[in-house]
Amino acid sequence: MPDSDLARVAVLGFGTMGSGIAQVVAASGRDVVVLESEAEPLGRGTRSVEQMLDGGVRRGKLTEAERDSTLARIRGTTDVSALAGVDLVIEAVTERQDVKVDLLGAVADVVGDDAVLATNTSALSVTDIAAHLPRPERVAGLHFFNPAPVMRLVEVVRALQTEPDVVTRLVAFVEDLGKDPVEVKDRPGFLVNRLLMPYLNDVVAEYDDDLASAEDIDTALELGLGYRLGPLALLDLIGIDVHRHATQSAYDATLDPQFAPPPLLAQMVAAGYLGRKSGRGFRGKYEK
Protein backbone atom coordinates (compact mmCIF):
# COMPACT_ATOMS: atom_id res chain seq x y z
CA MET A 1 0.00 0.00 0.00
CA PRO A 2 1.21 3.57 -0.67
CA ASP A 3 2.88 5.35 2.25
CA SER A 4 1.99 8.85 1.05
CA ASP A 5 -1.44 10.29 1.90
CA LEU A 6 -1.85 11.19 -1.78
CA ALA A 7 -3.33 7.79 -2.59
CA ARG A 8 -6.01 8.53 -5.18
CA VAL A 9 -4.53 10.09 -8.30
CA ALA A 10 -5.84 11.53 -11.55
CA VAL A 11 -3.69 12.25 -14.61
CA LEU A 12 -4.87 14.75 -17.21
CA GLY A 13 -3.71 13.74 -20.66
CA PHE A 14 -2.64 10.34 -21.97
CA GLY A 15 0.11 11.36 -24.37
CA THR A 16 3.80 10.62 -23.99
CA MET A 17 4.17 12.21 -20.56
CA GLY A 18 0.70 11.38 -19.28
CA SER A 19 0.99 7.70 -20.11
CA GLY A 20 4.43 7.49 -18.53
CA ILE A 21 3.28 9.23 -15.35
CA ALA A 22 0.16 7.05 -15.13
CA GLN A 23 2.34 3.94 -15.42
CA VAL A 24 4.68 5.11 -12.66
CA VAL A 25 1.80 5.95 -10.33
CA ALA A 26 0.00 2.67 -11.00
CA ALA A 27 3.21 0.69 -10.45
CA SER A 28 3.37 2.20 -6.94
CA GLY A 29 0.11 0.47 -6.03
CA ARG A 30 -2.22 3.41 -6.60
CA ASP A 31 -5.36 3.43 -8.70
CA VAL A 32 -5.13 6.06 -11.46
CA VAL A 33 -7.90 7.63 -13.48
CA VAL A 34 -6.72 9.26 -16.71
CA LEU A 35 -8.81 12.01 -18.31
CA GLU A 36 -8.79 12.61 -22.06
CA SER A 37 -11.06 14.57 -24.38
CA GLU A 38 -11.84 11.59 -26.64
CA ALA A 39 -11.69 7.80 -26.61
CA GLU A 40 -9.05 7.55 -29.34
CA PRO A 41 -6.16 9.10 -27.35
CA LEU A 42 -7.16 6.92 -24.41
CA GLY A 43 -6.59 3.89 -26.62
CA ARG A 44 -3.22 5.21 -27.81
CA GLY A 45 -2.12 5.89 -24.27
CA THR A 46 -3.14 2.44 -23.11
CA ARG A 47 -1.18 0.84 -25.95
CA SER A 48 1.85 2.94 -25.04
CA VAL A 49 1.74 1.75 -21.43
CA GLU A 50 1.29 -1.85 -22.56
CA GLN A 51 4.32 -1.62 -24.85
CA MET A 52 6.47 -0.10 -22.12
CA LEU A 53 5.42 -2.77 -19.61
CA ASP A 54 5.88 -5.58 -22.14
CA GLY A 55 9.42 -4.32 -22.71
CA GLY A 56 10.02 -4.47 -18.97
CA VAL A 57 8.86 -8.08 -18.90
CA ARG A 58 11.14 -9.00 -21.81
CA ARG A 59 14.13 -7.40 -20.07
CA GLY A 60 13.34 -9.17 -16.80
CA LYS A 61 12.61 -5.91 -14.97
CA LEU A 62 9.14 -7.02 -13.90
CA THR A 63 6.96 -10.11 -13.92
CA GLU A 64 3.88 -10.70 -16.02
CA ALA A 65 1.81 -10.49 -12.84
CA GLU A 66 3.30 -7.05 -12.05
CA ARG A 67 2.60 -5.91 -15.59
CA ASP A 68 -1.01 -7.07 -15.40
CA SER A 69 -1.64 -5.51 -11.98
CA THR A 70 -0.17 -2.19 -13.10
CA LEU A 71 -2.41 -2.10 -16.18
CA ALA A 72 -5.44 -3.03 -14.09
CA ARG A 73 -4.95 0.04 -11.87
CA ILE A 74 -5.20 2.48 -14.81
CA ARG A 75 -8.68 3.55 -15.85
CA GLY A 76 -9.35 5.94 -18.70
CA THR A 77 -12.32 8.31 -18.94
CA THR A 78 -13.64 11.24 -20.94
CA ASP A 79 -15.94 12.32 -18.10
CA VAL A 80 -14.44 14.88 -15.73
CA SER A 81 -16.91 13.91 -13.01
CA ALA A 82 -15.07 10.57 -12.71
CA LEU A 83 -12.28 12.49 -10.95
CA ALA A 84 -14.41 13.29 -7.91
CA GLY A 85 -12.69 12.37 -4.67
CA VAL A 86 -9.09 12.14 -5.89
CA ASP A 87 -6.30 13.43 -3.64
CA LEU A 88 -3.92 14.54 -6.37
CA VAL A 89 -4.33 15.72 -9.95
CA ILE A 90 -1.30 15.69 -12.26
CA GLU A 91 -1.83 17.71 -15.44
CA ALA A 92 0.21 16.61 -18.47
CA VAL A 93 -1.44 18.22 -21.49
CA THR A 94 -0.08 20.51 -24.19
CA GLU A 95 2.30 23.35 -23.21
CA ARG A 96 -0.25 26.15 -23.49
CA GLN A 97 -1.23 28.04 -20.38
CA ASP A 98 -4.80 28.67 -21.51
CA VAL A 99 -5.37 24.95 -22.12
CA LYS A 100 -3.87 23.99 -18.77
CA VAL A 101 -5.81 26.64 -16.85
CA ASP A 102 -9.15 25.78 -18.48
CA LEU A 103 -8.74 22.07 -17.81
CA LEU A 104 -7.44 22.44 -14.27
CA GLY A 105 -10.24 24.91 -13.53
CA ALA A 106 -12.86 22.41 -14.68
CA VAL A 107 -11.23 19.67 -12.59
CA ALA A 108 -11.00 21.94 -9.53
CA ASP A 109 -14.80 22.22 -9.57
CA VAL A 110 -15.07 18.42 -9.26
CA VAL A 111 -12.32 17.37 -6.85
CA GLY A 112 -12.41 18.23 -3.18
CA ASP A 113 -11.09 21.45 -1.65
CA ASP A 114 -8.13 19.59 -0.15
CA ALA A 115 -7.01 18.02 -3.43
CA VAL A 116 -3.60 19.06 -4.73
CA LEU A 117 -3.40 20.27 -8.33
CA ALA A 118 0.01 19.70 -9.92
CA THR A 119 1.19 20.70 -13.38
CA ASN A 120 3.91 18.83 -15.25
CA THR A 121 4.84 21.92 -17.28
CA SER A 122 8.52 22.27 -18.14
CA ALA A 123 8.36 25.84 -19.45
CA LEU A 124 5.39 27.78 -18.08
CA SER A 125 5.13 29.68 -14.80
CA VAL A 126 3.42 27.62 -12.11
CA THR A 127 2.69 30.87 -10.26
CA ASP A 128 0.80 32.24 -13.28
CA ILE A 129 -1.17 29.01 -13.65
CA ALA A 130 -2.04 28.97 -9.94
CA ALA A 131 -3.19 32.61 -10.07
CA HIS A 132 -5.98 31.64 -12.49
CA LEU A 133 -7.26 28.75 -10.38
CA PRO A 134 -9.38 28.46 -7.24
CA ARG A 135 -7.37 27.61 -4.12
CA PRO A 136 -3.99 28.59 -5.64
CA GLU A 137 -2.30 27.57 -2.40
CA ARG A 138 -3.03 23.94 -3.37
CA VAL A 139 -1.26 24.27 -6.75
CA ALA A 140 2.36 23.24 -7.42
CA GLY A 141 4.60 21.92 -10.16
CA LEU A 142 5.45 18.24 -10.43
CA HIS A 143 7.91 18.01 -13.32
CA PHE A 144 8.63 14.45 -14.44
CA PHE A 145 11.27 13.84 -17.09
CA ASN A 146 10.80 11.79 -20.25
CA PRO A 147 10.54 8.82 -20.25
CA ALA A 148 8.86 9.01 -16.85
CA PRO A 149 9.11 5.26 -16.05
CA VAL A 150 12.90 5.40 -16.53
CA MET A 151 14.01 8.84 -15.35
CA ARG A 152 14.38 9.03 -11.56
CA LEU A 153 14.35 12.81 -11.12
CA VAL A 154 11.17 14.77 -10.39
CA GLU A 155 11.27 18.52 -9.76
CA VAL A 156 8.78 19.64 -7.10
CA VAL A 157 8.14 23.28 -7.95
CA ARG A 158 6.96 25.81 -5.36
CA ALA A 159 4.77 28.49 -6.85
CA LEU A 160 4.65 31.79 -4.96
CA GLN A 161 1.27 30.79 -3.55
CA THR A 162 2.02 27.11 -2.72
CA GLU A 163 1.54 26.18 0.93
CA PRO A 164 4.55 24.47 2.56
CA ASP A 165 2.51 21.37 3.47
CA VAL A 166 1.67 20.83 -0.21
CA VAL A 167 5.38 20.71 -1.08
CA THR A 168 6.04 18.34 1.84
CA ARG A 169 3.26 15.99 0.73
CA LEU A 170 4.43 16.03 -2.90
CA VAL A 171 8.01 15.23 -1.89
CA ALA A 172 6.74 12.24 0.11
CA PHE A 173 4.58 11.19 -2.84
CA VAL A 174 7.52 11.29 -5.27
CA GLU A 175 9.69 9.29 -2.87
CA ASP A 176 6.90 6.72 -2.55
CA LEU A 177 6.97 6.35 -6.34
CA GLY A 178 10.62 5.33 -6.06
CA LYS A 179 11.75 8.60 -7.63
CA ASP A 180 14.17 11.28 -6.41
CA PRO A 181 12.51 14.64 -5.69
CA VAL A 182 14.30 18.00 -5.85
CA GLU A 183 12.54 21.08 -4.46
CA VAL A 184 12.91 24.18 -6.63
CA LYS A 185 11.47 27.68 -6.87
CA ASP A 186 9.24 28.70 -9.74
CA ARG A 187 11.71 30.16 -12.22
CA PRO A 188 11.73 29.84 -16.04
CA GLY A 189 12.99 26.32 -16.74
CA PHE A 190 13.02 25.51 -13.00
CA LEU A 191 16.44 23.94 -12.29
CA VAL A 192 17.43 21.36 -14.89
CA ASN A 193 16.05 23.11 -17.96
CA ARG A 194 17.21 26.50 -16.72
CA LEU A 195 20.77 25.19 -16.93
CA LEU A 196 20.19 22.91 -19.92
CA MET A 197 18.49 25.31 -22.33
CA PRO A 198 21.41 27.77 -22.79
CA TYR A 199 23.80 24.84 -23.27
CA LEU A 200 21.63 23.28 -25.98
CA ASN A 201 21.16 26.65 -27.66
CA ASP A 202 24.94 27.13 -27.79
CA VAL A 203 25.40 23.68 -29.32
CA VAL A 204 22.78 24.39 -32.01
CA ALA A 205 24.43 27.72 -32.84
CA GLU A 206 27.87 26.12 -33.18
CA TYR A 207 26.42 23.31 -35.30
CA ASP A 208 24.78 25.91 -37.55
CA ASP A 209 28.18 27.62 -37.89
CA ASP A 210 29.65 24.32 -39.17
CA LEU A 211 31.94 23.86 -36.18
CA ALA A 212 31.59 20.08 -36.64
CA SER A 213 29.10 17.51 -37.84
CA ALA A 214 26.20 16.54 -35.59
CA GLU A 215 27.74 13.11 -35.06
CA ASP A 216 31.14 14.54 -34.13
CA ILE A 217 29.65 17.09 -31.74
CA ASP A 218 27.76 14.37 -29.91
CA THR A 219 30.73 12.02 -29.87
CA ALA A 220 33.02 14.74 -28.50
CA LEU A 221 30.70 15.64 -25.64
CA GLU A 222 29.84 12.04 -24.83
CA LEU A 223 33.48 10.95 -24.67
CA GLY A 224 35.03 14.20 -23.50
CA LEU A 225 32.54 14.98 -20.74
CA GLY A 226 31.18 11.53 -19.96
CA TYR A 227 27.62 12.33 -21.09
CA ARG A 228 25.44 9.32 -21.82
CA LEU A 229 23.79 11.10 -24.76
CA GLY A 230 25.11 13.88 -26.94
CA PRO A 231 23.22 17.21 -27.02
CA LEU A 232 21.92 16.96 -30.58
CA ALA A 233 20.73 13.39 -30.08
CA LEU A 234 19.10 14.64 -26.87
CA LEU A 235 17.30 17.39 -28.78
CA ASP A 236 16.01 14.81 -31.25
CA LEU A 237 14.70 12.79 -28.31
CA ILE A 238 13.13 15.75 -26.51
CA GLY A 239 11.56 17.14 -29.67
CA ILE A 240 13.03 20.16 -31.44
CA ASP A 241 9.67 21.91 -31.31
CA VAL A 242 9.42 21.26 -27.57
CA HIS A 243 12.85 22.76 -26.93
CA ARG A 244 12.14 25.77 -29.12
CA HIS A 245 8.85 26.43 -27.29
CA ALA A 246 10.53 26.09 -23.89
CA THR A 247 13.40 28.42 -24.76
CA GLN A 248 11.06 30.97 -26.31
CA SER A 249 8.88 30.92 -23.18
CA ALA A 250 11.95 31.41 -20.97
CA TYR A 251 13.19 34.25 -23.17
CA ASP A 252 9.79 35.96 -23.18
CA ALA A 253 9.68 35.77 -19.38
CA THR A 254 13.22 37.01 -18.75
CA LEU A 255 14.48 38.75 -21.93
CA ASP A 256 17.75 36.98 -21.15
CA PRO A 257 19.55 36.40 -24.47
CA GLN A 258 20.95 33.04 -23.33
CA PHE A 259 17.42 31.64 -23.63
CA ALA A 260 16.71 33.06 -27.11
CA PRO A 261 16.22 30.10 -29.48
CA PRO A 262 18.70 30.03 -32.39
CA PRO A 263 17.06 30.71 -35.80
CA LEU A 264 17.86 27.19 -37.01
CA LEU A 265 15.34 25.79 -34.53
CA ALA A 266 12.50 27.77 -36.09
CA GLN A 267 13.56 26.63 -39.56
CA MET A 268 13.62 22.98 -38.54
CA VAL A 269 10.19 23.25 -36.89
CA ALA A 270 8.79 24.90 -40.03
CA ALA A 271 10.24 22.08 -42.14
CA GLY A 272 8.71 19.46 -39.87
CA TYR A 273 12.10 18.19 -38.68
CA LEU A 274 11.14 17.64 -35.04
CA GLY A 275 13.47 14.79 -34.14
CA ARG A 276 12.58 11.18 -33.46
CA LYS A 277 8.83 11.70 -33.38
CA SER A 278 8.76 13.12 -36.92
CA GLY A 279 11.41 10.80 -38.31
CA ARG A 280 14.06 13.45 -38.96
CA GLY A 281 16.22 15.71 -36.80
CA PHE A 282 19.78 16.80 -36.16
CA ARG A 283 21.08 13.24 -36.31
CA GLY A 284 19.43 12.43 -39.65
CA LYS A 285 16.48 10.16 -40.30
CA TYR A 286 14.73 7.83 -37.86
CA GLU A 287 12.30 5.01 -38.40
CA LYS A 288 8.82 6.07 -37.34
Identify whether residues 42 and 176 lie together within a single domain.
Answer: yes
Q: Is 109 exposed, middle or buried (0-12, 13-18, 19+ CB in 10 A)?
A: exposed
Task: Look at residue 214 and tell me whether its pLDDT is greater than 70.
Answer: yes
Asked about 64 being catalytic, the answer comes back as: no
Distance separating alpha carbons of residues 256 and 251, to the nearest angstrom:
6
Identify whether residues 237 and 157 lie together within a single domain.
Answer: no
Share of the chain above pLDDT 70, in %: 99
Set 193, 201, 249, 278: catalytic member: 193
Domain with residue 240: its CATH number is 1.10.1040.10
79-105 pLDDT, tens digit each: 999 999 999 999 999 989 999 999 999
Residue 123 lies in a domain: yes
- Give the domain-ending residue among 160, 185, 210: 185
- Give the domain-ending residue among 167, 185, 203: 185
Q: pTM for the full model? A: 0.91
Identify whether residues 201 and 138 lie together within a single domain.
Answer: no
Identify whether residues 240 and 125 lie together within a single domain.
Answer: no
15-56 pLDDT, tens digit each: 999 999 999 999 999 999 999 999 999 999 999 999 999 999
Set 4, 48, 120, 122: catalytic member: 122
Pairing type for strands 153-158 and 280-281 reads: unpaired
Asked about 122 being catalytic, the answer comes back as: yes
- Which pLDDT value is given to residue 226? 95
104-129 pLDDT, tens digit each: 999 999 998 999 999 999 889 999 99
Distance separating alpha carbons of residues 65 and 58, to the nearest angstrom:
13
Set 155, 243, 249, 278: catalytic member: 155
Q: How many domains does the chain have?
A: 2
- Collapsing DSSP to helix, strand or coil, 65 comes out as helix
Task: Look at residue 184 and tell me whether its pLDDT is greater than 80.
Answer: yes
Residue 2 lies in a domain: no
Asked about 69 being catalytic, the answer comes back as: no
Set 120, 125, 143, 278: catalytic member: 143
Residue 264 domain boundaries:
193-279
Identify whether residues 24 and 162 lie together within a single domain.
Answer: yes
